[in-house]
């Protein structure tokens, strides 16, 4: 079919405007073949200067790896934070004058409740001894005439999060209890800090994203300058701007994809290197926590954002610089 149509474009026969586009393109398949060969060609061009290409891709990779790595850290912290939240304890400070007997009886009664897992008793003497050894106030405390510390019941509840507040209210109602305190404040503070850090990571990601855009843009601008003559010649032969733009856009995509792959490699090797020390550390805290390699979701997102940034960066450069290159 198509062969006929192209052969029929005889010499001297004026073609109607616009026919050149439709008549010579063998439909959608031809279009995809053209794009595929363009993509491969621009990859081939990049591979002809492997060092320069890798340098650019590495800069992009590092820029992408930094926010990704930080995000993974925060993510891991939050997951382990979830574990800690479950181990929340409630401390019941008993009124002065409650003896050990009454305290133990209360402990027994509380342990039978459905939402309480276990209760244990810390006598004022135990508390003092612990405080002396841990707080660094040992010598000051030794000079005290009487023990100022109350007896404490440590309650391990069988619940999480906001339900704890209701439990505390009920525990406060017992006549023996002076103060009921959730040992979670430090965790809440940690989460507040983490939220700030997360914002910071987001800002960093934004800045580095812009950096990637500029890096790709500048690289493509140089490539355009280097091929100025070629662009002029192809324009003279009748290339559309879209045709000339395409290889540069594909280079941008390749740079972004390569950068994304390098970032993936960097982050995963960092996690791999940190895995053992982190496991050791959390082991010391009694947790069995392990750093996870990047999930496939995050990996795909990383590669995707690399491609997107590469494409937009080259689009910016192409839009700005290609227009000014016209045959003279």
> What does the binding site for other proteins look like in residue numbers (CB under 8 A)?
2-3, 6, 9-15, 17-18, 20-21, 24-26, 30-31, 33-34, 229-230, 233-241, 243, 326-328
CB of 230 to other proteins, least distance (A): 6
Q: Which residue stretches of the chain are H helix? A: 2-7, 19-24, 27-47, 50-86, 100-111, 124-135, 138-142, 163-172, 185-226, 228-237, 241-284, 296-321
Classify residue 34 by burial, with Cβ atoms within 10 Å: 0-12, 13-18, 19+. Answer: middle
CA distance 302 to 294: 10
CB of 241 to other proteins, least distance (A): 8
CB of 18 to other proteins, least distance (A): 7
Strand partners, 90: 155, 182
CB of 30 to other proteins, least distance (A): 6
CB of 250 to other proteins, least distance (A): 15
Decide whether 26 or 268 has the Cβ nearer to other proteins.
26
Residue with tokens 């020390």: 277
Q: Contact 250/38 with Cβ under 8 angstroms?
A: yes
Say which DSSP state 322 is in: G
Q: At what angle do helices 50-86 and 296-321 cross, to 10 degrees?
A: 140
CB of 21 to other proteins, least distance (A): 7
Decide whether 30 or 161 has the Cβ nearer to other proteins.
30
Residue among 288, 289, 286, 291 at smallest CA distance from 275 = 291
Residue among 255, 273, 239, 233 at smallest CA distance from 317 = 255
CA distance 230 to 322: 12
Decide whether 5 or 86 has the Cβ nearer to other proteins.
5
CB of 311 to other proteins, least distance (A): 22
Decide whether 250 or 262 has the Cβ nearer to other proteins.
250
Decide whether 16 or 286 has the Cβ nearer to other proteins.
16
CB of 294 to other proteins, least distance (A): 39
Decide whether 15 or 170 has the Cβ nearer to other proteins.
15
Decide whether 70 or 223 has the Cβ nearer to other proteins.
223
Decide whether 114 or 242 has the Cβ nearer to other proteins.
242
Decide whether 31 or 120 has the Cβ nearer to other proteins.
31
CA distance 144 to 127: 14
CB of 26 to other proteins, least distance (A): 5
Query: Computed from CA positions of residues 131, 132, 133, 139, in that sequence, does the dihedral angle turn out positive or negative?
Result: positive
Q: Contact 267/294 with Cβ under 8 angstroms?
A: yes
CA distance 71 to 187: 19
Q: Residue 120: phi, psi to the nearest 5?
A: -135, 160
């Amino acid at each position: 079919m198509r062969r006929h149509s192209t052969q029929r474009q005889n010499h001297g026969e004026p073609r109607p405007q616009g026919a050149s586009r439709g008549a010579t393109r063998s439909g959608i398949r031809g279009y995809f073949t053209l794009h595929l060969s363009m993509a491969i060609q621009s990859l081939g061009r990049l591979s002809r200067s492997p060092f320069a290409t890798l340098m650019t891709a590495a800069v992009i990779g590092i820029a992408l790896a930094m926010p990704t790595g930080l995000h993974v850290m925060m993510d891991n912290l939050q997951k382990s934070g979830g574990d800690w939240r479950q181990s929340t304890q409630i401390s019941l400070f008993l009124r002065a004058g409650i003896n050990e007997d009454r305290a133990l009886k209360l402990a027994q009664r509380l342990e039978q409740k459905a939402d309480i897992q276990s209760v244990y008793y810390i006598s004022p003497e135990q508390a003092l001894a612990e405080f002396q050894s841990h707080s660094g106030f040992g010598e000051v405390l030794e000079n005290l005439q009487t023990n100022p510390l109350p007896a404490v019941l440590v309650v391990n509840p069988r619940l999480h999060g906001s339900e704890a507040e209701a439990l505390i209210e009920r525990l406060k109602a017992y006549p023996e209890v002076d103060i009921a305190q959730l040992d979670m404040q430090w965790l809440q503070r940690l989460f507040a800090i983490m939220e700030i850090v997360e914002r910071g990571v987001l800002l960093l990601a934004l800045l580095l994203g812009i950096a990637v855009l500029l890096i790709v843009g500048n690289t493509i601008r140089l490539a355009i300058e280097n091929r100025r003559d070629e662009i002029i010649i192809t324009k003279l032969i009748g290339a559309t701007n879209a045709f000339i733009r395409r290889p540069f856009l594909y280079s941008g995509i390749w740079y972004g994809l390569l950068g994304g792959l390098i970032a993936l490699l960097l982050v995963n090797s960092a996690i791999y290197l940190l895995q053992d020390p982190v496991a050791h550390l959390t082991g010391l805290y009694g947790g069995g926590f392990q750093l996870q390699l990047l999930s496939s979701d995050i990996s795909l997102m990383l590669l995707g954002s690399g491609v997107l940034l590469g494409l937009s960066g080259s689009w910016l450069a192409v839009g700005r610089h290609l227009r000014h290159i016209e045959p003279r």
